[in-house]
A = this chain, B = another copy of it.
Amino acid sequence: MASIGNVHHIQNKRLTKHITISLTSITRLGELGIIKIMEDSFGVSDRMVVGFGDDVSAVRLLGSRIAVLKTDMFVGSTDLPPGMTMRQAAWKAVVANVSDLAAKGIRPMAGLVALGLPRSLKKTEVQEIAKGLSEAAASYDFPLIGGDTNESNDLTISIALFAVANKKNLILRKGAKIHDVVAVTGEFGSTSAGLKSVLKYRISWRKMPKGLYDALYRPRARLDLGLRLAASRAVTSSIDSSDGLAWSLHQLSESSGVGIIIDEIPTSKAARDFAQQHHLRSRDLALYGGEEYELVLTIPPENFSRAYRAAKGNLTRIGRVTGRFRGVRMKADGRIVPVKKKGWEHFRS
């Protein structure tokens, strides 16, 4: 997500392990508290091309070229749902990083891997991790060129990606303009449904419909779409939906200083089926999920058809940018209701 990172996962991601939450020192401090402490302490350097509050970091190279850097850490105790293999965990650790570059329209050039491995890990599991990392890197066409391996009490897969880009091609979170179309790639809700399925309803992953299984255990980053959309020069702002669609929309809204009004969200059939079965609203699964690696973009109306062609039709208009209010609202059941700024917190119940 944002800023120096996915800090709000501290409050939320543990839900992949425990449904109930007990308040603790760190949770009382909260995501914004931790982000603020780090950013205030680090300070803004004049070498920085991108501020703390975006999906990637960058420093100036020669001319208009910039070095883009990204790090995202996968932690076993909080990011590993029941049934996920080491190979899938390693794959997902890479995908989470690639997705942020995809949202900025940047192709990864090389990656590093820092591992923290529990003593109890078996050789075959180490091999699975290596395989998952390599498969993901190959899938997104960049080499893993080095890293660091350590013993840890908690499985840790920390990826760092490097890329070179032209500053003017970088799509930031800020840049959304009033009257822009808000659009997304793909469909939403499957990951959230899959996670609820194994955690809340304790349904074995073996019985999970393929749509939910693939979303939760084998997610993909929209790198190709992100690169195509960036090349189309039709997009004014962009973010990935890895912290939940609602959260991402709020980030775009805040970064760009605009309001967003949502008409309708494309939800997956698997998520709708799951919602119906468990008497949930598929809209909530779509909005307040997370770990779903779609792109959320704003596009001037006159550019939309160009963006649509660039995305080969995998682009859905879900709303528009407005100057009439700040924040995110949605048309639902004939009314305009606020979209809450939250990620995983709905699991608290």
Interface bits A27-40 vs B (CB < 8 Å: 1, else 0): 11101011101101
Q: Is the CB of B123 within 8 A of A58?
A: no
Chain B CB within 10 Å, residue with most, of A25, A114, A148: A148
User: Once the chains are docked, how many angstroms separate the CA of A34 from the CA of B149?
Assistant: 8
Contacts of A183 in B (CB 8 A): none
- Interface presence of A267 (CB below 8 A): no
Q: Is the CB of B78 within 8 A of A150?
A: yes
Q: Is the CB of A59 within 8 A of B162?
A: yes
Contacting residue for A33 out of B7, B123, B146, B151, CB 8 A: B123
Interface bits A49-72 vs B (CB < 8 Å: 1, else 0): 010100011110100000101111
User: Once the chains are docked, how many angstroms separate the CA of A45 from the CA of B56?
Assistant: 24
Q: Is the CB of A147 within 8 A of B78?
A: no
* Residue on B nearest A137 in the bound complex, by CB: B42
When all copies of this chain in the complex are counted, the total is 2
Interface bits A149-172 vs B (CB < 8 Å: 1, else 0): 111111010101010100000000
Contacts of A158 in B (CB 8 A): 71, 73, 114, 148, 156, 158
Q: Is the CB of A27 within 8 A of B71?
A: no
Chain B CB within 10 Å, residue with most, of A120, A126, A131: A126
- Interface presence of A280 (CB below 8 A): no
User: Once the chains are docked, how many angstroms separate the CA of A154 from the CA of B314?
Assistant: 41
Q: Is the CB of B119 within 8 A of A26?
A: yes
- Interface presence of A6 (CB below 8 A): yes
Q: Is the CB of A57 within 8 A of B26?
A: no
A33-B123, A77-B153, A116-B75 as given contacts; A59 in contact with B109, CB under 8 Å: yes
- Interface presence of A279 (CB below 8 A): no
User: Once the chains are docked, how many angstroms separate the CA of A258 from the CA of B164?
Assistant: 38
Instruction: Enumerate 12 A-B pairs (CB-CB under 8 Å) in ascending A order.
Output: A5-B149, A9-B151, A42-B137, A47-B110, A48-B143, A59-B109, A59-B110, A71-B113, A71-B148, A73-B148, A116-B156, A154-B154
5 nearest CB pairs, A to B: A57-B146, A45-B143, A5-B148, A41-B130, A160-B160
Q: A69-B146, A71-B148 are in contact. List 15 more A-B contacts (CB 8 A).
A: A4-B113, A6-B148, A7-B149, A9-B150, A9-B151, A41-B127, A41-B130, A50-B146, A57-B110, A59-B110, A73-B116, A116-B116, A148-B158, A152-B156, A162-B162
